[in-house]
Amino acid sequence: MDRRRFLKVLLGAGGTLIVGIPARAAWAAPTPLPLALLGDTWTRLNAFVSIEPNGRTLIGAPAPEIGQGVRTALPRIIADELDADWTRVEVLALPLGVEDRDNGEPRWTYGAQHAGGSRNIAAAWRDLRGIGAAARWLLRHAAAQRWNLPAAHLTTRAGWVIAPDGRRLDYGELAAAAAQLQLPDGGVPPKTAAEYTLIGQPAGDVDARAIVSGRQLYASDQYWGDGYVAVIARCPYADGELEHLDDSAARAVEGVEKVVTIGARTTLGAIGNVPLAPGVAVLAHDTWAALKGRAQLALRWRARHGGSATTGALAQQAVTLLKGAPSTRVLTRGDIAKALHGAARRIEAEYHVPFVAHACMEPMHCLAHVSNEHAHLIAPTQEPRAALEVVRKLTKLDPGNILIELPRIGGGYGRRLDNDYVAEAVLLAQAAGKPIKLMWMREDDMTHDVYRPFGLHRLVAGVDRKHRITAWQHHLASTSRLWHRDTPVEQLWQSEMQPDAWPANVLPTVDLAWYALDFPLWRGAWRAPSHVSNVFAIESFLDEIAHATRQDPLKLRLALLEPARQIPTAHGALDTARLANVLQQAAKAIGWGTRAPAGHGRGLACAFSAGGYCAHAFEVSLRGGGVQFHRALAVVDVGRVINPLGLEAQIAGGTLDALSTALKLEITVEYGTVRQQNFPDYPIARRDELPRAVEVLPVASSATPVGAEDLAVPGAAPALANAIFAASGKRLRRMPFMHELARMG
């Protein structure tokens, strides 16, 4: 019964048909919805689909939109099952669906509302089809009653119910009557794949027109009357405190109303894992006054720990650690010492992965209005449920008295899985007694991120006389992103390595170990977390093994993937045949095995992430201390494709982001503080430094669909490194690559 879903059909004001789906049958309490989704009267309903008498169809999109296309893809799943006319569909962003249980705990009325891990499509596939199919069933049976015909004789298409003799009724004409009907106890079966009309067809983003015309509202565009704008001067040390404050000059700035001190995270233990920095906030009537006031603060900070920390010393510490005993033995299969000793050849290499920032185009922002009875937030968060917990713990309000709106987000990449900016906004709204618009500047965002972890990978392989890999050792020294997140020490490795990752899961003798690096810098999830670091090392090393043993890198990988089989992993079963297929298709498309033009090199890499499969292939040459891309392509298998245009955008965008990061980006620390302040110090690759186009080749599949938000990120860097080696004979084992490319000339 846990997996059962019960549809609720209710009649809204003015004859509006509303079809909703609670995640549990017992959930009966209502949730506030956007007014447009409820017809003419605000009626508290749990609704996803609304069909109004004038024929307008409204579909609610529950997942936060960070640019991954779910505000288009998820409603199209419903619309296809409904047989709606997509040109008459309006998609509305839903707030966090939460209400009170009898015990005061939250009841989630829209199911999972989350943006991260490429999970939205897979999680919603079954339920959303059921919502659309149920609405279509009701409309068809309402028409059958009006015409006195068997419902089985009627068809639906593009917002119409059609009789065998050609008569037709618009959905809007049937909405009121349909809402009076009862759904069958056995449920309504969804369409077969052959009946899809929207699923699998390309569609532009539903917000595209608003975005390009400047009408799309982000959190940073919104204001509340009679409120303050807040900016914060934060402690530059990851573990520091305020030693001295003189705010007299700041308070004298025209427009400044308050100066509020925010304590360190350790004084706010009730909010758990939020990486909150100590700070001094300036509250003013406008942003300019707040910034002028902040500039006038006389501050002195003190580092409690790590004030002399540098990333250079961290790298040396990693080298030293890898010579000793590991913090955790992640996986041991067979006798690795014996296997390496008995190998015909031993191959080893080290790969360096630096800290990187998220650098979202929209820095962190949040609007908060808090009273003793209610809290209202406009929060660009990837984790609205976690944001709710932050608000609850700071305000002691019941879930049903907290409204969190989820605007479109100007980039997330995992940064907005942490809700430190939400906590700051709530604390300041409480202190001010007025609505607060918290603004982060670019420098705040760059120096107070939750960074992708630093890591040093040491890989060793033993091969036999037939060049088969017989032993695989992967040791990683890294700064766990679970550090300072109330995670037991023995579990810190879990964010850094996957014991079931390919190719360790297909080899006979394996030794995976993790070494804990301590460093006073907050870390967090960055696109395809842990995969992005590990795949770079693993896929680069496989190419090194192939070169050392005079094998074709493609054939080496394919041999490891044979025979075709399903291998259980924490991220779903790895189908080796599907991974081999994307590799083969990418190789064929790039011309693998044919002679490349003089000075050109081709490289391959593959990845399995969040249930999807991706293989990259690049053809490059080196020129003037940089890399020139001649071709760039990615073959992807995400199961059934919901929106091909959206998939292409995600894969191309992820590839370009990964290439920019691999080539140019690094966060460094000196004397306990982050050196990079803004984009001049953190130079995201420009257009002429990246491929002119990324060819995206989707694999036709009927498998359950999965997301592609981060799928293209892990394999891009190793494919590029392998292509550069093929072009130059030089191995790039340290990111960012541009430092080494400059030395190569």
Q: Do 587 and 515 contact (CB within 8 A), yes or no?
A: no
Judge if 459 and 595 occupy the same domain. yes
Q: Do 318 and 516 contact (CB within 8 A), yes or no?
A: no
Judge if 657 and 733 occupy the same domain. yes
Judge if 186 and 230 occupy the same domain. no
Closest to 137 (Cα-Cα) out of 155, 163, 110: 155
Task: Examine residue 276 and state whether it is found in any structural domain, yes or no.
Answer: yes
Q: Where among 164, 193, 213 does a domain terminate?
A: 213
Given this model, what pLDDT does residue 117 score? 78
What type of residue is 249?
A: A
Judge if 456 and 398 occupy the same domain. no
Task: Examine residue 645 and state whether it is found in any structural domain, yes or no.
Answer: yes
Judge if 568 and 680 occupy the same domain. yes
Q: Do 650 and 708 contact (CB within 8 A), yes or no?
A: yes
Question: What sign does the CA torsion over 63, 64, 68, 70 have?
Answer: positive
What type of residue is 294?
A: R
Task: Examine residue 186 and state whether it is found in any structural domain, yes or no.
Answer: yes
Q: Do 442 and 397 contact (CB within 8 A), yes or no?
A: no
Judge if 490 and 421 occupy the same domain. no
Q: Where among 213, 234, 259 does a domain terminate?
A: 213
Judge if 198 and 228 occupy the same domain. no
Q: Where among 164, 186, 213 does a domain terminate?
A: 213
The string of pLDDT tens digits covering residues 261-304 is 998 654 454 455 778 899 999 999 999 999 999 999 999 999 98
Please give the Cα distance from 601 to 599 (Å, whole number). 7
In order of 252, 272, 569, the CA distances from 292 in angstroms are: 10, 33, 53
Given this model, what pLDDT does residue 62 score? 87
Task: Examine residue 23 and state whether it is found in any structural domain, yes or no.
Answer: yes
**pTM for the whole structure:** 0.92
Structure tokens at 705: 């669909």
Given this model, what pLDDT does residue 475 score? 98
Q: How far apart, in Å, do the first and last CA atoms of the chain sit?
A: 64
Q: 100 forms bridges with which residues in the sheet? A: 106
Judge if 550 and 662 occupy the same domain. yes
13: containing domain: 8-213
Task: Examine residue 311 and state whether it is found in any structural domain, yes or no.
Answer: no
Judge if 458 and 539 occupy the same domain. yes
Given this model, what pLDDT does residue 26 score? 26
Blockwise average pLDDT, block size 10, the chain, 745 residues: 39 56 33 43 44 81 92 94 93 90 84 83 84 90 96 96 96 86 86 95 94 93 92 93 96 98 61 81 97 98 90 97 96 97 97 98 96 96 95 94 95 95 96 97 97 98 97 98 87 95 95 96 93 97 98 98 93 94 98 97 96 97 94 98 96 98 98 96 96 97 93 98 97 95 82
Helix (H, G, I), strand (E, B) or coil at 446: helix
CATH of the domain at 696: 3.30.365.10
Task: Examine residue 1 and state whether it is found in any structural domain, yes or no.
Answer: no
Judge if 329 and 232 occupy the same domain. no
Judge if 417 and 488 occupy the same domain. no
Task: Examine residue 204 and state whether it is found in any structural domain, yes or no.
Answer: yes
Query: What's the structural domain count of the chain?
Result: 3
**CA angle, residues 457, 463, 464, in degrees to nearest 5:** 170
Judge if 393 and 499 occupy the same domain. no
Could you write out the DSSP letters of every residue in 678-695? Answer: STTTS-PPPGGGS-S--E
The string of pLDDT tens digits covering residues 75-134 is 999 999 999 999 999 898 889 999 898 777 898 888 888 898 778 888 888 788 888 898
Task: Examine residue 44 and state whether it is found in any structural domain, yes or no.
Answer: yes
**CA angle, residues 25, 31, 34, in degrees to nearest 5:** 135
**Looking up tokens 């590990």, which residue turns up?**
534
